[in-house]
Amino acid sequence: LIELKSQRIEAGTPITLSTKEPTWKINKFDVIRRTGYLDKQGRQALKIILSTRGYNPKGYKLEIRGVFRKRIAIIHRKLGEVCFFDFGKLMTIIRAKLGENVLLVLAEVKKKGDNEYFNYKEATYFSGFKERAFKDMIKDGRIIWEFRLHLKSDTAIRDHGSGFRTARRNLSTMYDKEI
């Protein structure tokens, strides 16, 4: 199996590695309501980027915690640990998704009217996933967590694919081989 990732050549946005849902210690709805903000559509939202490099402007950060550092925690400055990932379970999901084979394809884009046309210019094949490198990249902030949540109503939450992400230049660090 090969995981296919594609991106516009000129894009500077991070590549999504996994969209696994964390284990919530505090009710997710309450977290969004208490620490979110009103987005452009007037909805209570929590669309923020977190890393281990320190607290972001909304008071969140990632932290590796636990005996033997087996947990990646999402910490809020006032609320404390709001949710977390068990590192072993996360690695099982990451290995299943990114596994041994990832193909990154880059394309130039032209717009004509309402249509976009893609010219695929280059492809890079990565193999031999390195779990240790993944963990090190979280520790040093090269892998980030991005919340992309908003409240749809008083009872419903819309998740636009919150997940672990990194810059495409970092992919080679996570693999033994690059072709």
pLDDT in tens, 81-93: 999 999 989 888 8
> By percentage, how much of the chain surpasses pLDDT 90?
76
Does the pLDDT of residue 154 top 90, yes or no?
Answer: no
pTM (global) more than 0.85: yes
State the alpha helices, DSSP H only, in 23-154: 28-35, 87-98, 131-139
Q: Which two tokens stand for residue 104?
A: 């990154």
DSSP 3-state percent helix, strand, coil across the chain (nearest 5): 20, 50, 30
- pLDDT at site 75: 97
Rounded CA separation 126/129 (Å): 8
- Rounded mean pLDDT of the chain? 92
- pLDDT at site 161: 80
State the alpha helices, DSSP H only, in the chain: 28-35, 87-98, 131-139
Q: What are phi and psi of 130, to 5 degrees?
A: -115, 105
For range 32-60, the mean pLDDT:
94
Tens digits of residue pLDDT in 116-139: 999 999 999 999 999 899 999 999
Does the pLDDT of residue 109 top 90, yes or no?
Answer: yes
